[in-house]
Each structure stands twice: as C-alpha cells, then as structure tokens.
Amino acid sequence: MVKKVLKFGGTSVGTVERIQHVANIIKKEISLGNKVIAIVSAMAGKTNDLIKLSCEISNEFNKREFDVLLSSGEQVTCALLSGALIKLNMKAKSWLNWQIPILTSGEHSNARIINMHVEKINKYLNDGGVPIIPGFQGISKNGDITTIGRGGSDATAVAVAKIFNADTCEIYTDVDGVYSTDPNKIPVAKKIDKISYDEMLELSSLGAKVMQSSAVQTAMMYDISLEVRSTFTERKGTKIFSQENIDYSKSVTGVAYSKDDAKITLTGVQDKPGVAANIFEPLSKAQINVDMVIQNISSDQKTTDITFTVKRDEVFKTEQILKDNKNIKYKKIIQNNKVAKVSIVGAGMVSTPGITYRMFRALSDEKINILAISTSEIKLSVIIEEENVLKAIKKLHTIFDLD
Ligand code: ASP
Ligand code: MG
C-alpha cells in the first residue's frame, strides 16, 4: 500500500465531466490498494473571475475579504469532486481550510503554510476514505482565511505530502510532463522521464508552466519526490527528485529560453571599489531584478564597461534610476530590449568537459552573435538577439542529442 497525494490543477477540474474523470482516476488508485489524499485547484478561470468581481467593487478591495472570496473557487471543486466520488460508491469527504485546519503565517494573499492538523484526516484515510483538500489556502493564527499566492495549490500539495508523510506527490495537469525544450516551438522536443529539482528550477521557463517554482523549491528542501503527469492520458509523466537518484547519460537535459529580457551597458564607468555596489544598490531598492552582470577588464586601469540584463518591462525604470543616480559616473547608457536568453541545463554538465566550447561553436556555426554569457554548475546561458532564438534552440537541441 502506498500513500499518495494527488493534486489536480484548474484545467483538470475545469468542467463537471473532467471532475468525473478525476473521480475515476482516484477510484482506480483506491482499487489498486493505495491511500489517496486529493488536493484540488479552482475550476479553470474561476480564480480570475473572482478577482474581476472584486475589481468591480474596488481596485483596493479589502485584503481579508479578497482571500475569503478567492478561496471559494477551491471550495466548489472540493464539493463537486467529493460528490462525484460518492456517486461512484466511494467513501469521500471534503475538508475546508478551517476545518482541518491548515495553519498559515504571513500576509493575506501571500501567506505560507506552516502546519496542518493530521489526526482527523489520518483516521479517515485509515478507514478507507478519500479526503479532498482545497489547495491555495489556509487560516491565519486569528482564524482568518488566507491564500498563499497564485498557483499555490502546488505548494499545498507539497506541504500535505510532507506533513502526512506521503510516499509520492503527483501533480496532475494538462501537459504530460517537462520537455527538453518548448514542444510548441520545437516539435522534436522530448519528454524528460527523470529530472532533478535543480534542473527543474533552472528550466523554469519550460517548467514554470508545469509547476510553481516555489513548490519545487519546498519539495527540494524536504526531499519530496514529485511526478508531473497529464490528467488526460495514461502516459507516464516526469519524475522530479534529488540528483543522486538520476543516472546521467546525457550532459544536457534541456534547452530553455526567455524572450522578455533587455540588456543595458554603461560605458566608461570608473574602475574602483564600490562602483558596482553604487550601481546596483538603487536597482535592488526599486525591486528590479538584475540577471546577468558582466564587467570588462579595464584596458587603461581607469574606466571599464558594465553590462547587465533585466526584464524588458523594467528597462525604462532601470534607465531612469541610473540617470538619476548621483553616485556614479559613466560615459553612455546603451540599451537593447530585443534580446533573449537561451540556456542549456543539465546536472550531467559538471562531469563533461567541452560543453561550453560546443555551445559557442554551435551558435557561431549558425552565425549567431553572443552578447553576454553566464554560467552556473548546471546551466550555461547566453544573451542573443531575439530574432535568433528559434534557430539557436533548434541547433542546441540537436547538437546535445536531445532530438
Ligand atoms: N486557483 C488558484 C490560482 O488560480 C491556485 C491554483 O490553481 O493553484 O492561482
Ligand atoms: Mg495551477
């Protein structure tokens, strides 16, 4: 007997028929002798609809009531799924956030699960029942309803798997796993069978659509193995666990990209201690996330150029802050907001020499100019002109044997 946490996302429970289908998936697990705790999201689009309703009243809708409102989407799914299981002659029961209770700390709309009471639910599980728990919510220490951030049902699933000591945590969604690159762009992309938490996080431009990154981080922290799989096919999904459990036959696991980057260069900045700190401190205060940073070696020992990347929608704000910054001197600001980041990711890269060179050679064969480079142990990223992205991922996918 295996104790499983099964989480069903919004599209998986988007209609009554789909909820009935989910009930059948659970029924099958029970007939195999497994114990199941189900976590559900709101029906697809529901949370957005609820937000719209609150905006019709006020754009500064009361925070406490906002969480009461938003949490209701999951309540609906809990009841419908429970009802569908009961209709199949199964023993099932929904539990709302305050009935369990799921205890959270932190602010409304952005709370964090800290604990849950397990006795009642464990007893119900041991009696052969299927508890259905709403994702994305809890209560504060004052007993107010809280929500834990958009996409938070994944985090609920991971927390439940941890607190109930489940054997597996399966994330049912509308894709059948994590791919070696975007399958919509590159048809030869392959589904990855096994991936480490780190790789999953680094591939977040592909993986984020699949699972909330912070939930993957929590799973990594507690070493909870995950499986992402499709509600609509029986195919195996992608297993996500710690690196030791993976035997790397390939050095590169996937090719990721993001197209919303911008590059800023400051030329002629003084080459002395404190300059970089003076540049980046005001950016960080303004909550601007700086990604890659490159500083050239100064040829005259006096001045140098600093290049960095930010998200495209923050480039004007960044420029303004630099221009208003009295603490730095520079010659010019050069900006390019038509750039993209392409990364190869793989835990197997550590042990394979020559990956860097092969990536650069491949891009040069395609006549793609590299504008900036950054590396970590399991990732190698380059900034290139946005128009070259597709060509670059195609080529890299091929030369690293991922097709
Ligand atoms: N229903 C919530 C949202 O749409 C939580 C979730 O689906 O994970 O953000
Ligand atoms: Mg979701």
Residue 134 CB less than 6 A away from ligand 1: no
3-state secondary structure of 332: strand
Q: From residue 109, how far is each of 74, 231, 260, 265 by CA, in Å?
A: 15, 28, 26, 37
pLDDT of residue 207: 61
Which DSSP symbol is given to 286? T
**Does 14 sit in the ligand 1 pocket, CB within 6 Å?**
no
- 87 within 8 A of 95, measured Cβ to Cβ: no
| pLDDT of the residue at 248 | 75
pLDDT score recorded for residue 88? 98
Report the range of poorest mean pLDDT among 66-70, 128-132, 134-138, 329-333. Answer: 329-333
Amino acid 243: pLDDT: 82
Report which protein residue has its CA nearest ligand 1's atom 8: 151
Is a pLDDT exceeding 70 seen at residue 208?
A: no
Establish whether residue 136 lines the binding site of ligand 1, counting it when its CB lies within 6 angstroms of any ligand atom.
yes
Query: What percent of the chain has a predicted confidence (pLDDT) above 70?
Result: 99
CA 376, chain centre distance (Å):
19
Nearest atom within ligand 1 for CA of residue 152: 8
- Is the pLDDT confidence value at 321 over 70? yes
Tens-place pLDDT, residues 279-317? 999 999 999 999 899 888 777 778 999 999 999 999 999
Sorting pLDDT into bands at 50, 70 and 90, what band is 191?
Answer: very high
Q: Is the pLDDT of residue 205 over 80?
A: no
Residue among 342, 323, 325, 316 nearest 254 (CA): 342
Q: Is 205 in the pocket of ligand 1 (CB under 6 A)?
A: no
pLDDT at 4 over 80: yes
Q: What is the mean pLDDT of residues 176-180?
A: 92
pLDDT digits (tens, 9 = 90+) for 340-396: 999 999 998 888 889 999 999 999 999 999 998 988 889 999 999 999 999 999 999
The best mutation among 39, 41, 70 to test binding of ligand 1, ranked by most ligand atoms within 8 Å of the C-beta, falls on: 41
- Residue 261, strand partner residues: 311, 339
Q: Could you tell me which residue, 271 or 70, shows the higher pLDDT? A: 70
Which residue do the tokens 């007993």 mark? 143
- Taking only the tens place, the pLDDT of each residue in 267-285 is 999 988 899 999 999 999 9
Q: Which atom of ligand 1 is nearest to the CA of 136?
A: 5
Q: Is the CB of 70 under 6 A from ligand 1?
A: no
Region of poorest pLDDT, from 77-91, 139-153, 186-200:
186-200
Write out pLDDT tens, residues 39-52: 999 999 999 999 99
Which of 12, 150, 172 has the most ligand 1 atoms within 8 A of CB, as the residue to mutate?
150
* Interval between CA 44 and ligand 1 midpoint (Å): 8
Other beta carbons less than 10 A from residue 44's beta carbon: 17
Residues in the chain: 403
